[in-house]
Amino acid sequence: MTYFDSDYMAGAAPEVMDALVRSNMELTAGYGADRYTAEAQELIRRAVGCPTADVRLLVGGTQTNATLIDSILARHEGVLAAESGHIAVHEAGAIEASGHKVLTLPHHEGKVSAEDVERFMTDFYNDATHEHMVAPGMLYISQPTEYGTIYSLSELESISATCHRHDIPLYIDGARLGYALAADGNDATLKDLARLADIFYIGGTKCGALFGEAVVVTKPGGIKHLFSIIKQHGALLAKGRLLGVQFATLFRDGLYERLGRNAVEQAMRLREVFEGAGYHSVVASPTNQQFFSLPNDVIDRLHEHISFDYWGPRGDKQSVVRLVTSWYTTKEDIDRVREVLSSI
């Protein structure tokens, strides 16, 4: 069986695993007060071009979103997000469980527009009863989105300007950020994200780490007492050096970029294979998530050899499926898909 279910199915990139093994018997201070975490934090500050950024390492994406969103919002506030956004769909109500509502916006292949944010903010405060309602306290977006699409630099600049005009923070979920950075046509760099967002995170779990996400708070003191807030949410890893070792390895010599590039290259080859067989993408995704509408009988035949997920409910005759490449996807994996498709 060849697997395209998600990008966290393998353990860690060999370089990361080797670094973990080499440091295994070394004794270090806990809770991120170790030399590996300090190195990782400094490497990330350099990569994002923000020497005063507050960099924190957490374990997973949902945990990171729940912790940060709860730390930013006041009790009466909610978070704006695309109706397709991860926090609105696939986090089991983690944000609502912390006492905050997810206020959804229309999405355009996973993206929100500055115009829709502007409209929501204007309409909210023009409503004479707005003090009886959940106030929009921040905007959440993903780069890349849940549909594999990416925001252009101009789109991010417009969204950032709109957020700051209305005095709400912009938070960017970068669970798959390595694949956005590697995408053809991407013009938004890490330095751009640090300039435009108030908070964002650099995904490790899906991008070569065994686990872990690197949070970047771009303004010093942007979230007061963040260490304590992370611990209060059960998100502070006692053996914090396990995160430090991984992110120091990912950012020491460009490994993070190389891993992302492999995933995107294989995703583009995968798209070529499906298009060559007469099946076209339903979303123009330049990243590692690819979506196709296929006849159900073709899906069933593929599933005998290739593992992947439906994207939504199964249709009567045709269904949309998602195939995901990653840092560990090989040319041979793509060749196997071609072989199976050609036999159908």
- Letter for the amino acid at 66? A
Per the DSSP assignment, residues forming a β-bridge with 310 are 321
Last residue within a domain, chosen from 201, 222, 254: 254
Residues 144, 289 contacting (CB under 8 angstroms): yes
**Alpha-carbon distance values, 34 to 183, 246, 256 (Å):** 34, 13, 22
Write the burial class of residue 115 (CB in 10 Å: 0-12 exposed, 13-18 middle, 19+ buried): exposed
What tokens appear for 45 in the block?
A: 């500050």
Residues 197 and 267 in one domain: no
* pTM, two decimal places: 0.97
What tokens appear for 233 in the block?
A: 């949410």
Give the integer Cα–Cα distance in Å for 127 and 114: 20
Last residue within a domain, chosen from 234, 254, 274: 254
Residues 249 and 272 in one domain: no
Pairing of strands 102-105, 77-82: parallel
Give the integer Cα–Cα distance in Å for 339 and 296: 19
Residues 243 and 114 in one domain: yes
Residues 203 and 285 in one domain: no
* Three-class DSSP labels, 289-344: EEEEEEEHHHHHHHCCCEECEECCCCCCCEEEEEEECCCCCCHHHHHHHHHHHHCC
Residues whose CB is less than 8 angstroms from the CB of residue 240 and which lie 6 or more positions away in sequence, other chains included: 30, 31, 32, 33, 34, 37, 57
Which residue bears the tokens 């694949």?
179
Residues 239 and 302 in one domain: no
Residues 167 and 194 in one domain: yes
Which residue bears the tokens 């944010």?
117
Last residue within a domain, chosen from 210, 232, 254: 254
CATH for 119: 3.40.640.10
Residues 57 and 177 in one domain: yes
What tokens appear for 157 in the block?
A: 């600049």
User: Around Cβ 301, how many Cβ atoms within 10 Å?
Assistant: 16
Please report the pLDDT score of residue 221 as a whole number. Answer: 87
Residues 284 and 160 in one domain: no
Please tell me whether residue 122 adopts helix, strand or coil conformation: helix
Mean pLDDT for back-to-back runs of 10 residues, the chain (344 residues): 97 98 97 98 98 97 97 98 96 95 97 98 97 98 98 98 98 98 98 98 98 96 95 96 98 98 98 96 97 97 98 96 98 98 93
Runs of H (alpha helix) within the chain: 14-22, 35-48, 61-72, 86-89, 94-97, 114-126, 153-165, 177-181, 190-196, 226-232, 241-252, 255-276, 296-302, 331-342
Find the domain containing 276 and state its range: 2-7+256-342
Residues 157 and 297 in one domain: no
Give φ, ψ of 111 to 5 degrees: -100, 150
What tokens appear for 280 in the block?
A: 């076209």
